[in-house]
Structure 1
Amino acid sequence: MTSMFNLKAPLRSALLILVLAFGVASCGTAPQTQPSRNLGHVLLLGDSITQAAVGNKGYRYPLWKHLVDGGYQFDFIGSLTHNFDANNTASTTSVSPYPDYAGRKFDTRNEGHWGWKTTDILGKTAPTRTPGTGAGKLPDWLAGYTPDTVVILLGINDIRVASAQSVAATKANMKMILDALKADNPKVLIYLASVLSTKADFAEPQKIRELNEAYKELAGQYAAIRYINIYPKFDPAIHSYDGVHPNSQGEQVLADAIYEAMKR
């Protein structure tokens, strides 16, 4: 029998390298599980921050570009395809310019409803400035589609000074929204984002912080709901055009934060 040590030096060296390489590979740690790149039907649910006014793109567009660049499989869904037009609140055809990217056209479908509260989403109250802000309610929408991934940015209109709904009531409504989404698809993955900081005469800073703590606690009650803390990243003096709604910088801040959460 020919042993390794009877082989010529070059061949013996090559075999030793192969043996060592095999040993290192077999002793290495198991590869980590990566997040799925198939997000399925993606629902972006919220208020004006999601819908965006005509002339603005909203966070949806830079988020879409991130997902395209990341090689994700996804399909935006929703009953809305237009932006809100303050000069014509009845318009359902006003759409901001969304340039093609990487050879693809932007999918404008979403469920962002300008000025809506959690109570409007649930159908408990009647929203204003319709049909430009949208129509229907969550149970109606879920009868027409089933989300696999949901991003929620909602609640600031509930606790704004003009509304004065309590944090506890808003949290309870959000739980109803989460439960409805889970009932529609038990495997749905939900990203619940913090509400954003605003100018003080729109919403009290302390109340915003309390609602965000409530949302964080609520998300912790579910295995497949992840809380995204965008609040400290968003400065309304820098990232908004009116103290409430994101400018292009702010839209990018939101998109970046949401995408980073999706990658984890």
Structure 2
Amino acid sequence: MSTSSMIVRLLFSSAVLLAPGWAAAEQPSKNLGNVMLLGDSITQAAAGNQGYRYGLWKRLVDAGYQFDFVGSLRHNFDASNTSSTSAVTTYPDNAGMAFDADNEGHWGWKTSDVLGLTQPTRTPGTGIGKLSDWLAAYTPDTAIVLLGVNDIRIATGASVAATKANMQAIVDAIVADNPKVRIYLCSVLPTKPDFADLPKIAELNEAYRDLVNRNPALRYIDVGSRFDPALHAYDGVHPNPQGEQILAEAIFAALGR
């Protein structure tokens, strides 16, 4: 283990908030079942970038977890051709296994797009359908959700209250599909100031913490406080390799608690 990797892991030793319904003494299973990675560009990743999904997958494989990433997408986003569904980053095999690329990361999508309340842009490169369509195709046992910054970004301007309500609807839909599902709700990452207002991001993250306190199926993963867009993003928004590692390690640590 490198020194930098050890430091990152130690940073996340207390980054997970348990919902009331999850007893602190409960030992999580290493069988995660169907794992839904639900999000926006941070989850899908641009062509040429691996995103946090690959690092998380490697950590889970190396730790002996049983899991199957599920989702309607397998490709990365190609900014030069937003209709492309064939742009795929190189993902080396690990432990003799090919990367499981299935995910629900939809570049630029808002919570309202996921619910089908608004129309997303740059499809089909960013994906098609809506949450109810995806849940008809598979049933998550574990869901990792990193979503909401596109709602409150300066160019969009949705309220924190509306975004929180949409996230509650997303949680309700996933729980209705599988009442035993475990959902890990990630904090929204800070961005450069001309993309999203930092106090509004903080307000949304507090709203997400409140959702966790009210929903027994939820855990909160604080990744935002560990992420510096000036150091960990290649454009002030999207994680660079170091930022991808921070996300992967934070989520992996949460799954082990």
Q: Are 1:70 and 2:79 matched, yes or no? A: no
**Residue aligning to 1:13:** none
**How many residues were matched structurally?**
233
Equivalent-residue separation in structure 1 for 2:104 and 2:139 (angstroms)? 13
C-alpha displacement of 1:222? 1.5
Identity of aligned residues (%): 69
**RMSD value over aligned CA atoms?**
0.7
The structure whose RCO (Cα within 8 Å, separation 6+) is larger is: 2
| Aligned position for 2:164 | 171
For the pair shown, which has the larger CA radius of gyration, 1 or 2? 1
Whether the 8 Å CA contact 2:175–2:217 is kept in 1: the answer is: no
Mapped partners of 2:166, 2:215: distance in 1? 16
Provide Cα deviations, 1:1-29, integer angstroms capped at 9, x if missing partner. xxxxxxxxxxxxxxxxxxxxxxxxxxxxx
**Cα displacement (A) at 1:64:** 0.2
Moved more, 113-122 or 218-227: 218-227
C-alpha separation in 1, matches of 2:173 and 2:217: 14
3-state SS of the aligned residue for 1:39?
strand
Aligned-residue offset at 1:88:
0.5
TM-aligned CA deviation for residue 35 of structure 1: 1.6
Determine helix, strand or coil for the equivalent of 1:59. helix
Work out whether 1:43 is the aligned partner of 2:36: yes
Pair 1:239-2:232 in alignment: yes
CA deviations on 1:116-168 (whole Å, 9 max, x unpaired) are 00000000001000000000000011111000000000000000000000000
Instruction: Determine the C-alpha separation between the residues in 1 that align with 2:27 and 2:61.
Output: 17
Equivalence for 2:195: 202
Match of 1:88 in 2: 81
Amino acid at match of 1:241: Y
1:186 maps onto 2:179 in alignment: yes
3-state SS of paired residue (1:64) = helix
* TM-score, normalization by structure 2: 0.90
Gaps of 5+ in 2: 1-24
The answer to whether the aligner puts 1:99 opposite 2:99 as a matched pair is no
TM-score in terms of structure 1 length: 0.87
Counterpart amino acid of 1:185? N
> How far 1:224 sits from its partner (Å)?
2.2
